[in-house]
Amino acid sequence: MIPRRLPWALLAVLVLAQICYPLTDGATRAGLTVATVVLGYLLSVGHALLSRGARTAGALVAVATGGGFAIEAVGVATGVPFGSYDYSGELGPKLAGVPLIIPLAWTWMAWPAWLAAVRLTSSRPGRIALAAVGLAAWDLFLDPQMVAEGYWVWRDATPALPGLPGIPVSNYLGWLLFAVLLMSALRPLAGATADRTDGRDAPMFGLYLWTYFSSVLAHAVFLRLPASSVWGAAGMAVTALPLAGTLLRARRDGTDRREPHRAPRPGVDAAA
């Protein structure tokens, strides 16, 4: 019973920490940022371990945490693929110029993005594409927020998206490229258990939808970043809104059980 409740408990603490974020500033806000990332990391990796086992959790850590650190280290050193940027010292210890919490953030959102895609489609290429977009679009919220706080800075921020100065378009394209590689590698390493969802995954769906809707609200109202609210809302909607719709339909129809969920097969279930 405790393992089943643990992801929900961690999610509740994470939500509380994020609600407190706009109420803080300075070193307190930076510390809360670090704590939030650590909580999100423990939530996603812990859920993968409890629901799928050591192989899946290990694959998530290897691909998202290890791969995330590697691509960030390359990015800081060479400017590829994100563009030239530097991290401040406010996010804690660094290795190779990368704060150690940064690859944890990749992992935090990679797992719910993957499970959302599994829930929505049975096509392997479709899952990779949807999960990659679901992860990369989060940066439309994350980067403007973190740049506004001074946690990292770009040496050359042109060209930038309208309303989002200080961040080059290459950053978002680099995120998308890495997200595609990450999601392509995750399933083969994680095993067949990562290819289906069931009632145990509700905390991860809650995490993804909370991140989406709370970010839209926070950027628009509390953080005074209206442009990133619009861009992030549009980007993450590709995954978040269909996920919300399918969960609402399952709840209405009484089909959200603990048995594995099989996404509709294109052209098969529609004709049935």
pLDDT surpasses 70 at 264: no
Per-residue pLDDT band for 235 (boundaries 50, 70, 90) equals very high
CB 110 within 8 A of CB 182: yes
Nearest to 196 by CA among 52, 47, 29: 52
How many angstroms separate the CA atoms of 60 and 166, rounded?
31
What is the pLDDT averaged over residues 70-88? 96
What is the pLDDT averaged over residues 24-52? 96
Average pLDDT of the chain, as a whole number: 93
Angle between helices 102-120 and 124-136 (to 10 degrees): 140
What is the pLDDT averaged over residues 33-50? 97
Amino acid 268: pLDDT: 41
How many angstroms separate the CA atoms of 85 and 147, rounded?
11
How many angstroms separate the CA atoms of 28 and 42, rounded?
21
Strands (E), 24-113: 85-87, 94-95, 98-99
CB 203 within 8 A of CB 8: yes
Amino acid 270: pLDDT: 36
Per-residue pLDDT band for 262 (boundaries 50, 70, 90) equals low
Amino acid 269: pLDDT: 45
Strands (E), the chain: 85-87, 94-95, 98-99, 152-154
Predicted TM-score (pTM) of the model is 0.92
Residue type, 46: G
How many angstroms separate the CA atoms of 39 and 18, rounded?
11
Amino acid 272: pLDDT: 31
What is the pLDDT averaged over residues 194-209? 96
What is the pLDDT averaged over residues 78-101? 95
Nearest to 93 by CA among 26, 144, 36, 34: 34
